[in-house]
């Protein structure tokens, strides 16, 4: 059977070309500020490497551009057992591995997927994303093993050549979204094992399965990707060629953009702050959410923050837009809840979460027994000592002092020792009142954002929360298979944490400013990686601009 599919795929390569190309092939020019660190999906940690991996390798699922849907890619469909712990994926039978020249080498099968996930859970692989997959039975035990890991115990198995089964430790309706991550890209295990080394990532030996193949690779200078005509969804790819220009200098990159030599360029914070006030730039400027959110956590059992009204006053007093403008130069997205745009389950920014309201904050503090801050004891705010978070802490202290009339004491700590200062086992009198934190995760679904940051048992719980409605809603979301219902549960959980319980004050989502030419339609909402295969480019308009 595999041979038949191999021959069918080869025939597609030979006959697709005349019908798949536009009259004017669309060629995209993008800038990476540095050379991608690796071609290896499991080790891709920076945005450039994740984007590159997403172009070269297909995955079982993919996210819609707005992050609201998990769509099939390698998997045509999947089913879940009654207890929610066994996921069975049925694979396309026309997915193939191709070499640098686009020649089909073999079919992509369930055996590749089994090998890939066991490798991902192997500590020797060094994948930063491996903990996200601890929900696979045996993955955590393998990844944290002090001796030889039991990779056979990672419960992924091939039912047949085109059916793969995952057994999970618990119901996890968010699992299909995790499979859309670049790090979850299946690899050609046969070719890699034959090499017995990392040589498989060299361009002349690299086998890929995604929408593009590598035509030219000049480290530190450029990378040219051309459309893979053996890709099962090649007819849906509108950009025929992607020219990646390695341009470390930010000013030089903008100059190339202005000469129409780049279609999209990311802006360093200083340049973005200037561009925001340039009327000519504004129509082409966008902010994409990164995979980090910054917030002020409250130690909810330490007086006077053990009173919910006090926490509410502190949270509502914060002018998020002013903070983003004054401290970040506009390079951020004001936050009312934790999960940033583009994450599955992240509620609309203006519909869920805490709304800034300084006047109401003053009223709330008075109801708590501290009118104008009278009688309010000094509170301690701790923060990790870096340039940005130090400025954020100073802004918070100034805001609370001026708006609420309270005294704030700031304490900065080195990043390495900072978690020790927050440990919930410290005596309460040694704990701070407020802790500033930059929380990052590459998870494409809201579950991990909320669970690992604030769950009463699954997180470090530096707020010393007791299990409440928020935790129950998260557990319900983990078992809820209907996407619309799960999104609603996440929205309720965000409100329960930030509005009802007020366990923290959301501040902002980190963001990447970019400039985009008008002939490029870019649906992205987040900057974690770019799904370039789904972009649309008007090559005629681009050529006209270049000829001017």
> pLDDT digit string (tens) for 160-219?
999 999 999 999 999 999 999 999 999 999 888 875 556 788 888 899 999 999 999 988
pLDDT reading at 5 higher than 50? no
Q: With H, G, I as helix, E, B as strand and everything else as coil, classify residue 136.
A: strand
Q: How far apart, in Å, are the Cα atoms of 446 and each of 50, 134, 286, 431, 489?
A: 19, 16, 23, 29, 10
CA 20, 24, 30: angle at the middle one, nearest 5?
95
Q: How confident is the model at residue 315 (pLDDT cuts 50, 70, 90)?
A: very high
Tell me the pLDDT band of 7, cut-offs 50, 70 and 90. very low
How far is it, in rounded angstroms, from Cα 176 to Cα 478?
Answer: 12
pLDDT of res. 548: 82
> Does 450 have pLDDT greater than 90?
yes
Q: Is the pLDDT of residue 21 over 60?
A: no
In this predicted structure, the answer to whether residue 339 has a pLDDT above a threshold of 90 is yes
pLDDT in tens, 89-126: 999 999 999 998 999 999 999 999 999 999 999 999 99
C-alpha–C-alpha distance, residues 257 and 530, integer Å: 18
Question: Region 505-525: what's the mean pLDDT?
Answer: 93
Determine the pLDDT at residue 9.
38
Give the pLDDT of residue 527: 78
The DSSP line for 244-264 is EEE---HHHHHHHHHTTS-SE
Rounded average pLDDT over 303-329: 96
pLDDT over threshold 50, residue 4: no
Calculate mean pLDDT across residues 299-325. 97
pLDDT at 47 over 70: yes
Q: How confident is the model at residue 2 (pLDDT cuts 50, 70, 90)?
A: very low
DSSP, res 222: E
The first and second tokens of residue 491, run together, are 């929205």
Environment class of residue 301 by beta-carbon count within 10 Å: exposed (0-12), middle (13-18) or buried (19+)?
A: middle
Q: Which residue has the higher pLDDT, 207 or 36?
A: 207
Token pair 């007791």 is found at 466
Question: What is the per-residue pLDDT across 380-418, written as a single tens digit (0 to 9) for each?
Answer: 999 999 999 999 999 999 999 999 999 999 999 999 999
CATH numbers and ranges of domains, the chain: 2-263+517-547 (3.40.190.10), 288-511 (3.10.105.10)
For residue 301, CA distances in Å to 107, 111, 445 come to 58, 51, 30
156 vs 403: CA distance, rounded Å:
55
Contact 186/89 with Cβ under 8 angstroms?
A: no
Please calculate the CA angle 342-529-487 and round it to the nearest 5 degrees. 20
Q: What is the pLDDT of residue 194?
A: 74
The average confidence (pLDDT) of the chain is 91
Q: What percent of the chain has pLDDT over 90?
A: 80
Which H or E run contains 398? helix 387-404
> From its phi and psi, is residue 433 left (phi > 0), alpha (psi between -120 and 50) or beta?
alpha
By mean pLDDT, which of 1-15, 309-323, 336-350, 392-406 is the weakest? 1-15
Q: Which helix (H) or strand (E) holds 65?
A: none
- In terms of Cβ atoms closer than 10 Å to its own Cβ (0-12, 13-18, 19+), residue 41 is buried
Whole-angstrom distance, CA of residue 80 vs CA of residue 261: 48
CA–CA dist 244, 314 (Å, integer): 46
In the sheet that 156-160 helps form, which strands lie side by side, from edge to edge?
75-80, 86-91, 163-167, 156-160
């Amino acid at each position: 059977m595999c041979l038949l599919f191999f021959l069918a795929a080869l025939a597609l390569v030979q006959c697709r070309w005349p019908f798949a190309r536009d009259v004017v092939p669309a060629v995209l020019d993008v800038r990476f500020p540095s050379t991608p660190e690796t071609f290896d999906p499991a080790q891709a940690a920076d945005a450039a490497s994740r984007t590159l991996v997403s172009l070269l390798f297909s995955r079982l699922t993919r996210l819609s551009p707005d992050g609201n849907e998990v769509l099939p890619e390698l998997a045509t469909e999947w089913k879940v057992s009654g207890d929610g712990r066994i996921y069975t994926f049925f694979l396309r039978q026309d997915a193939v591995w191709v070499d640098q020249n686009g020649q089909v080498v073999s079919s992509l099968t369930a055996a590749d997927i089994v090998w890939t996930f066991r490798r991902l859970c192997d500590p020797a692989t060094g994948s930063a994303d491996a903990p996200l997959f601890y929900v696979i039975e045996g993955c955590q035990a393998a990844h944290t093993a002090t001796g030889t890991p039991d990779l056979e115990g990672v419960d992924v198995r091939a039912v047949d050549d085109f059916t793969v089964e995952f057994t999970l430790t618990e119901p996890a309706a968010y699992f299909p979204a995790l499979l859309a991550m670049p790090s979850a890209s299946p690899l050609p295990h046969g070719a890699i094992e034959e090499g017995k080394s990392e040589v498989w990532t060299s361009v002349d030996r690299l086998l890929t399965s995604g929408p593009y193949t590598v035509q030219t690779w000049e480290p530190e200078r450029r990378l040219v990707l051309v459309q893979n005509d053996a890709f099962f969804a090649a007819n849906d790819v509108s950009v025929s060629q992607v020219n990646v220009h390695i341009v470390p200098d930010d000013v030089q990159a903008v100059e190339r953009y202005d000469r129409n030599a780049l279609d999209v360029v990311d802006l360093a914070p200083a340049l973005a702050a200037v561009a925001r006030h340039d009327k000519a730039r504004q129509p082409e400027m966008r902010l994409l959410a990164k995979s980090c959110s910054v917030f002020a956590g409250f130690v909810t059992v330490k007086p006077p923050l053990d009173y919910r009204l006090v926490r509410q006053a502190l949270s509502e007093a914060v002018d998020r837009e002013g903070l983003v403008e004054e401290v970040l130069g506009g390079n951020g997205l004001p936050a009312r809840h934790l999960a940033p745009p583009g994450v599955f389950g992240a509620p609309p920014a203006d519909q869920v979460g805490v709304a800034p309201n300084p006047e109401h904050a003053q009223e709330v503090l008075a109801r708590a027994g501290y009118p104008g801050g009278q009688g309010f004891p000094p509170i301690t705010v701790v923060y990790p000592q870096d340039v940005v978070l130090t400025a954020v802490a100073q802004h918070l202290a100034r805001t609370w002092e001026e708006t609420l009339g309270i005294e704030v004491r700031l304490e900065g700590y080195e990043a390495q020792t900072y978690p020790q200062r927050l440990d919930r086992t410290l005596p309460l009198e040694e704990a701070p009142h407020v802790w500033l934190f930059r929380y990052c995760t590459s998870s494409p679904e809201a579950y991990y954002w909320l669970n690992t940051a604030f769950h009463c048992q699954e997180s470090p719980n530096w707020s010393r929360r007791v299990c409440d409605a928020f935790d129950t809603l998260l557990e319900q979301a983990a078992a809820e298979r209907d996407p619309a219902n799960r999104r609603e549960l996440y929205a309720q959980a965000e409100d329960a944490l930030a509005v009802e319980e007020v366990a923290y004050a959301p501040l902002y989502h980190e963001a990447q400013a970019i400039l985009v030419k008008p002939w490029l339609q870019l649906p992205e909402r987040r900057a974690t990686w770019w799904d370039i295969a789904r972009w649309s480019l008007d090559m005629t308009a681009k050529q006209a601009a270049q000829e001017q």
